[in-house]
Chains A and B, each alone.
Chain A
Amino acid sequence: QSVLAQPPSVSAAPGQKVTISCSGSRSNIGDNYVSWYQQLPGTAPKLLIYENNKRPSGIPDRFSGSKSGTSATLGITGLQTGDEADYYCGTWDNSLSVHWVFGGGTKLTVL
């Protein structure tokens, strides 16, 4: 069981929009920035969103992030078949000892 809860899978048609949720607690999402990562099959993870809603250079504006309280959301618009991947949220957790936590991951299928 991951400290950050994500849906195991989501799906949508090409061109449509999808959202992926990430639910935590005050000690992690509530008190820290959230980042999102895309992992295409057989490759290393790639940073998509940092500090809740900022995109690194080169990440298209089809990808967006938001945070409210102890939850965060990744949004992807204009879905493409190349977006099929696993998506992970992550943040620091300050409970007991300082450590980083990832969500369990969400498999996006573009139908």
Chain B
Amino acid sequence: EVKLVESGGGLVQSGGSLRLSCAASGFTFSSYSMNWVRQAPGRGLEWLTYISDSSTTIYYADSVKGRITISRDNAKNSLYLQMNSLRDEDTAVYYCARTDYTDDDAFDIWGQGTMVSVSS
């Protein structure tokens, strides 16, 4: 079964840091680009960052650039999101998602999400 499982969420104080992980299984992780997407309570989806299969290409949303770092370890079938200087508005469910098709043009597999709560 193709699966993504996020972990590492929790309650963190404003200004703090957190590292999220995403464990992939059921497919050749090293062949796919990956992303992080978040959803604040009651709000829509917000794309955060993309990393290519070999980590050579990385994109960030302007809203979080400089505060987050995406990385991956293909030997461990794992994706990571390092988040620093956390703010109240970073409170959200964080999803990892696989990109596929012609130009990495759709997110075809999603994890169940991990909740991050930032308290001031």
Against B, the Cβ 8 Å flags (1 = close, 0 = not) of A56-74 are 1000000000000000000
In the assembly, what is the distance between CA of A101 and CA of B102, in Å?
18
Looking across the interface, which residue of chain A has its beta carbon closest to that of B97?
A45
In the assembly, what is the distance between CA of A82 and CA of B43, in Å?
21
Tally A residues with Cβ within 8 Å of B.
Answer: 27
Chain B nearest CB, measured from A10 CB (Å):
15
**Of A2, A35, A99, which contacts B107 at CB under 8 A?**
A35
Tally B residues with Cβ within 8 Å of A.
Answer: 25
Looking across the interface, which residue of chain A has its beta carbon closest to that of B112?
A44
Residues of A33-89 at the interface with B, using a CB-CB cut-off of 8 Å, are 33, 35, 37, 39, 44-47, 50-51, 56, 86, 88
Q: Which residues of B contact A50 (CB under 8 A)?
A: 100-101, 105-106, 108
B47 contacts the other chain (Cβ, under 8 Å)?
yes
Chain A nearest CB, measured from B61 CB (Å):
6
Which A residues have a C-beta under 8 Å from some C-beta of B? Answer: 2, 32-33, 35, 37, 39, 44-47, 50-51, 56, 86, 88, 90-92, 97-105
